[in-house]
Amino acid sequence: MRIMGVDLHARQQSVAMLDTETGELIEKTLKHEGDEVRKFYSALPGQVLVGIEATGSMHWFLELLEELGIERQVGHPAKIRAAEPRKQKHDRRDAALLLKLQAENRFPAIWMPSTELRDLRPCCCMVINGCACGRACRTHCKL
């Protein structure tokens, strides 16, 4: 199994990966240009667990992991920060911290809906609030 800590940013991500069978540790930076990220994650063999810190721009990455069948956990930012005594942030160090928390079963995971459930959320709000948009809304939400 491979356990990964990923520090996600707008233009790149820092990855710290541990192969639990061999003990090999890999650190890598991936640019979000072209298909580099998709190629990297789709080439990973076997079972993979990815841990990331919750951010506002993470949904595209979660959708990619879900599409590739890769298990993911999203961590609570304040609890992750509390696990690091140093206050100075550094991308590679943050990725290594996420990996360490995963490997030690101390990762402060929060619940995240699947893409399918997240897509249904507006429909539930429309039904609860008595949406007046009619047939188009009911067709979109398959009601």
Q: How far apart are CA 6 and CA 91, in angstroms?
A: 9
Q: Which two tokens stand for residue 11?
A: 């233009």
Q: Is the pTM of this model over 0.85?
A: no
List, in order, residues 6 or more apart from 115 with CB less than 8 Å away: 62, 63, 66
Instruction: Categorize the per-residue pLDDT at 91 as very low, low, confident or very high, splitting at 50, 70 and 90.
Output: confident
8 A C-beta contact, residue 42 and residue 48: no
Least reliable range by pLDDT among 49-58, 104-113, 125-134: 125-134
pLDDT tens, position by position, 54-71: 998 898 999 999 999 999
List of domains in the chain: 2-112 (3.30.420.140), 115-143 (no CATH)
Query: Residues 18-35: pLDDT tens digits?
Result: 999 999 999 999 999 999
